[in-house]
Amino acid sequence: MLNSHIPNDRTTAPANRSREAEGRLRVRIIAWITAISLLGDSMLYIVLPVYWQSFGLDALWQVGVLLSVNRFVRLPLNPLVGWLYGRMSKRSGVLAAAVLAFLTTAAYGALSGFAALLAARALWGAAWSLLRIGGYLTVLEAADDSNRGRLLGSYNGIIGVGSLVGMLAGGVLADTLGAGAVSLLLAAVMLAGVPLAWRYVPATADSRAGAAAAAESAGSPSAAKPALPRRPAALAPTPQAALVLASGLLTAVVFFGIYLGTMSRMIEAHMPAPGTLLVLGATLGAASLTGIVQAVRWAWSPLLSPRIGAWSDGPRGRLPVYLGSLALAAAALALLPLPLPFAAWLAVLMAAQLASTAITTLGDALAADAATGSARVAFMTTFTTVVDVGAALGPLVGFALIGSLGLDGLYYACAGLLLLLIAAWAVHRSLRSRSPA
């Protein structure tokens, strides 16, 4: 199988294969370090909305702040972290991130009160910036045009395992051991990232790569990007580009912010018994069921996302599939507050999960379609930054509005936002069809 890739110069072939294997190993190692470091953060999204009083919080708005502050911290820190990686070894940055991830997760279990948890979440934002840019630099060093996509796919797939395990194990264990105990248990597991970083992450610095990472740190490591031009190209303020950015912002607010942050509370409100469900003789709480629902989504995403993307590549284009996904999501979010039979209600919840998977994939594809010419990198960076801001604002706005709208009213408002997006895209499509070629 390797013979087809052997170069003519037999003396350099073993060295090339050795470098490729070493690069693949480094990418996998830093991906596993990142996955391990994500356990506490993923757990908190499931546990905190249900057990917020166990963490010493006084009001629901504090939950929204705690789930958002790490993203706000990350936005100004990313350029600084990229600059630092040009002046310190990658091992130092990743090792510091692994230690910070352990300390912040341990703080969730050992400390109590809003101020202490706010400081821990801010430190986690710094840890994630170090991990994200360190991983991006590792892929840049290991990849070339022939394997960049494969390495990035492997990197993101391994990271997804960390989110899956954190949400599933965290939710189940919180119902049985308690929120504080599960935080300390996951923190103990996360200590494994420290020796991995010390042993396998190289003690090197790359000023050129660090500068590139700082400039593109707002973007996603899930897609390969070309090198940045020395003078960033200006974005063309076209209606299509503006609508893509608005869609990214609003869908991030709805799905990555409000929906993700309040799902466990919505499940708790609709379970047949007060906060519990008996399945095959086992009692599941709201946090357990939320973890299972999220785990199903993480499990099907690698299979469904490529199929959805390929479907949107067909002759009808992406927009009909995107609008259909928005309509399905709006209908599901409008039905979730209703007192349906629990089996039917759970089916509606899974429909919302399916729509969220499709919207994420198709939104990225629409952004890639709108990013053309010399402004391609600038536009994709702007799009991913907008999505990050939406995900940060979502929990903050959502939990602030629960007091006035209620949880049901909040979901109706989210459905209304998605309907507004559908209307905006329909108007834009109509205007484009009427304009002269």
pLDDT at residue 84 greater than cutoff 60? yes
Token pair belonging to 425: 């895209």
Task: Say if 90 falls within a structural domain.
Answer: yes
Task: Name which of 149-158, 189-198, 285-294, 332-341 the model is least confident about.
Answer: 149-158
d(CA 305, CA 174): 30
Contact 150, 24 (CB under 8 A): no
For residue 356, give its domain range.
238-437
Q: What is the pLDDT of residue 436?
A: 54
Task: Say if 415 falls within a structural domain.
Answer: yes
Better-scored residue on pLDDT, 338 or 61: 338
167/32 same-domain check: yes
Confidence of residue 221 (pLDDT cuts 50, 70, 90): very low
218/244 same-domain check: no
d(CA 319, CA 325): 10
**Length of the chain as a residue count:** 437
φ/ψ bin of 390: left (φ > 0), alpha (ψ from -120 to 50), beta (otherwise): alpha
DSSP string, 331-372: HHHHHTTS---HHHHHHHHHHHHHHHHHHHHHHHHHHHHH--
pLDDT at residue 275 greater than cutoff 60? no
282/423 same-domain check: yes
Report the CATH number at residue 75.
1.20.1250.20
Question: What φ, ψ does residue 333 adopt, rounded to 5°?
Answer: -65, -30
Task: Say if 10 falls within a structural domain.
Answer: no
| 83-97, 139-153, 361-375, range with greatest mean pLDDT | 83-97
pLDDT digits (tens, 9 = 90+) for 409-431: 999 999 999 999 999 999 988 87
Confidence of residue 122 (pLDDT cuts 50, 70, 90): very high
276/136 same-domain check: no
Q: What Rg value do the Cα atoms of the chain yield, rounded?
A: 22
290/364 same-domain check: yes
376/278 same-domain check: yes
Confidence of residue 306 (pLDDT cuts 50, 70, 90): low
Better-scored residue on pLDDT, 50 or 380: 50
The last residue of one of the domains, among 189, 222, 255, is 222
The last residue of one of the domains, among 176, 194, 222, is 222
Task: Name which of 180-189, 196-205, 226-235, 278-287 the model is least confident about.
Answer: 226-235
CA 400 to chain centre: 22
375/243 same-domain check: yes
Mean pLDDT of the chain: 77
294/164 same-domain check: no
Task: Say if 9 falls within a structural domain.
Answer: no
Contact 93, 34 (CB under 8 A): no
pLDDT digits (tens, 9 = 90+) for 147-159: 544 565 566 667 7
Q: What is the pLDDT of residue 60?
A: 81
Task: Say if 232 falls within a structural domain.
Answer: no
Specify the number of domains making up the chain: 2
**Residues whose CB is less than 8 angstroms from the CB of residue 415 and which lie 6 or more positions away in sequence, other chains included:** 329, 330, 331, 333, 334
208/248 same-domain check: no
**Residues whose CB is less than 8 angstroms from the CB of residue 109 and which lie 6 or more positions away in sequence, other chains included:** 179, 180, 181, 182, 183, 184, 187
Task: Say if 275 falls within a structural domain.
Answer: yes
153/52 same-domain check: yes
Task: Say if 110 falls within a structural domain.
Answer: yes
Percent of the chain topping pLDDT 90: 23
| 77-86, 291-300, 313-322, range with greatest mean pLDDT | 313-322
169/244 same-domain check: no
Q: Global pTM?
A: 0.63
Question: What φ, ψ does residue 284 adopt, rounded to 5°?
Answer: -110, 135
Percent of the chain topping pLDDT 70: 72
Contact 304, 357 (CB under 8 A): yes
The last residue of one of the domains, among 197, 222, 247, is 222
384/253 same-domain check: yes
Task: Say if 211 falls within a structural domain.
Answer: yes
Confidence of residue 166 (pLDDT cuts 50, 70, 90): confident
Contact 45, 377 (CB under 8 A): no
Token pair belonging to 277: 């469900």
| C-beta atoms surrounding 79 within 10 Å | 17
